[in-house]
Chains A and B, each alone.
Chain A
Amino acid sequence: MTILLSIVVGLALFFMIGFAARAVLQAFAPAHHKPTFRDMPLTASFGLAVILLYIFVAVFAPLIAPYGESEVLGAQFLPWASPHYLGTDKLGRDMLTRLIYGARNTVGIAFATTALAFFVGSFLGIWAALVGGWLDQWLSRFVDALMAIPALIFSLLLLTIFGTSVLTLILVIAAVDATRVYRLARSVAQGIVVMDYIEAARLRGEGIWRLIRREILPNVMAPLVAEFGLRFCFVFLSISALSFLGLGIKPPTADWGSMVRENATLITFGDITPLLPAGAIALLTVAVNFVVDWQLHRASGLKE
């Protein structure tokens, strides 16, 4: 019965947020973008609203959160009641506060990792496509070898060797993900480096860096941006999984993955508190996927 009720409430919220976000976006969008937002599906407007909400919470975390990030406030595992609206955790820290700070830490780290993976992966990919020859061969075969090992297993191996800290976590996940970005960037750029205007730019005497930045990058942006959304989901999920396994972001930093692990015992007593951080992760990935789906659909030019 409660499950049915929560499904109904969830669907109602979804439609309300979706419709409201679409109306607001349409009202405030500049004139030439209005049709884009008018035709967007409900899933996409819901996704956009959720992403904006997460960004807002992450940026203004210290202003919204009622307490300090790792402040111990009272007894452990307090129930949901004022002044701790979502109870307290294993050490007596306010759950709501840590959820809010988690938006900043978990999402921030995942975003930095994805950005790093994209910077390295797309630069190397375009470079390999542009230069070709032995450089392309060597880089591509090297990336193939790395991609033959499952991503999670390879990151675990690297974390064993370099130790577990936030910096190594970011570098390791970015390195593993950069191989996937490299593949995409290289294959997209290969179609572009054979164009006449690249030849012309080369004859003008443009250097590699300028060729990549000014001639190729603007033309490979569209697929890379869509891929960025999907990659962010992967990175976000794998960082949460590693934190959940105790190998990622370390306490006392508030992080959704490790919060699930710390409070998991509550589940056996029928308390849903540990599901909140897990749900926060799930909601953001769903939202990003909805928006990416919409963008891909738009880019492919298909009509229903």
Chain B
Amino acid sequence: MNEIWRMIGQRLLLGVLTLFIISVVIFGATELLPGDLARELLGQSATEETLAALREQLGLNDPAPLRYWNWLAGVLQGDFGMSMATQKPISELVGARLGNTLFLALYAAALAVPFALLLGVLAALWRNSIFDRASNALALTAISFPEFFVAYTLILWLAQSGLFPSMVRITGSTTTGDLLYMAFLPALTLTLVVTAHMMRMTRAAIINLLASPYIEMARLKGMSPIRVVLRHAVPNALAPIINVVALNLAYLITGVVVVEVVFVYPGLGQLMIDAVSNRDIAVVQAIALIFASAYVLLNLLADVLSTITNPRLMHRK
């Protein structure tokens, strides 16, 4: 038991280090500009006074390490600074939308993960059958589709007939049931986009194991094929499966950007796109940091879980 905690502690430290580096990169990216940020934001026609005022407001007169330190200290206390475009505190803008985005990502994950695992196990069980070939070809096709193509096809097909709404409007009186109904199409789009990858990896991980001697032994003693796969192959294939699931969940967190814009979903992605077109750098930095942290945390979780499921990794000398 001790070993687990030590490993988790090590991974957590590594994760914190990664996050620190990410924050340096996200903050330091503005230093790459050849001129200064204020002139870049205001354009060539800006007067010296407005430039000076903006520099003052952004704190550009301080040296970069000091600015980074102030920014990081603020972020750690939940204060991301002010949005330049709307003149509101960023934590206020982000707060409500973060929940919406997480809801959408979790909703899509709840649909996608069981679906992909089921398809993957079935494809491995009936490999080289029509079902396997068809699902493989479909998966390869689905991976290649742009998200907005999937989204608009679903709108044309399911929202046109009035089955589901093509826009998400969240008001004070929206209940969870309403939200599940309204967010179904965005969640389905994300599901279709990520299922293919997870399914292919699940199938590959299980098929890799099916050639091992202990599977043959199980077969020879007369076990049914489905029991062989579920009892003997799946537990050993868990580590790669967990990794690919986590990778796709991380993708979900960032992949929501396009889907949110299509369905006018009030989430972080849409806020980020608006901020990018307004060149509201502080908001973009804040959201980039949030997305990157989610990405790092999910990878960390996958790392820990896949180690726990594999006794050989747990008791490594």
Residues of A within 8 A of B (CB): 3, 43, 145-146, 148-150, 152-154, 156-164, 233, 237, 240-241, 244-247, 257, 260, 264, 267-268, 270, 272, 274-275, 278-279, 281-282, 285-286, 288-290, 293
Contacts and interface: CB of A to CB of B under 8 A. Distances in A.
Given A163-B40, A246-B277, A281-B149, A150 B254 contact: yes
Interface stretch (B21-29, B64-72, B176-184, B303-311): B21-29
Given A161-B30, A245-B258, A275-B153, A154 B288 contact: yes
B149 A267 contact: no
A241 B147 contact: yes
A156 B153 contact: no
Interface string B194-232: 000000000000000000000000000000000000000
Given A148-B21, A157-B29, A157-B288, A282 B144 contact: yes
7 contacts: A153-B254, A157-B26, A157-B285, A241-B257, A241-B258, A285-B146, A289-B143
A153 B288 contact: yes
Interface string B80-110: 0000000000000000000000000000000
A152 B284 contact: no
B157 interface: yes
Interface of B: 18, 21-22, 24-26, 29-30, 32-33, 37, 40, 137, 140-141, 143-149, 152-153, 155-157, 159-160, 166, 250-251, 253-255, 257-258, 261-262, 272-273, 275-277, 279-281, 284-285, 287-288, 291-292, 295-296
A275 B292 contact: no
A150 B287 CA distance: 12
Contacts of A43: 137
Contacts of A159: 276
A159 B144 CA distance: 24
Given A240-B146, A241-B146, A281-B146, A153 B32 contact: no
A273 to B, nearest CB: 11
A148 B295 CA distance: 8
B182 to A, nearest CB: 16
Contacts of B255: 152
A243 B29 CA distance: 22
Given A152-B257, A157-B29, A278 B21 contact: no
Contacts of A274: 152
Nearest to B251: A150
Contacts of B287: 153
Per CB-CB distance, the 9 closest pairs between chain A and chain B, nearest first, are: A285-B144, A278-B149, A150-B254, A286-B144, A160-B284, A282-B145, A145-B21, A153-B291, A157-B288
Given A148-B292, A286-B144, A270 B160 contact: yes
A interface majority secondary structure: helix
A161 B32 contact: yes
Contact of B25 (A149, A267, A278, A281): A149
A99 to B, nearest CB: 14
A268 B152 CA distance: 9
Given A154-B288, A267-B152, A161 B281 contact: yes
A149 B288 contact: yes
B279 A160 contact: yes
Contacts of A289: 140, 143-144
A247 B248 CA distance: 25
Given A157-B285, A275-B156, A260 B148 contact: yes
Most buried by B among A164, A233, A237: A237
A3 B33 CA distance: 51
A136 B254 CA distance: 30
A245 B273 contact: yes
B281 A149 contact: no
Nearest to B278: A160
Contacts of B148: 241, 244, 260, 278
Contacts of A241: 146-148, 257-258
Contacts of B284: 156-157, 160
B32 to A, nearest CB: 7
A272 B144 CA distance: 20
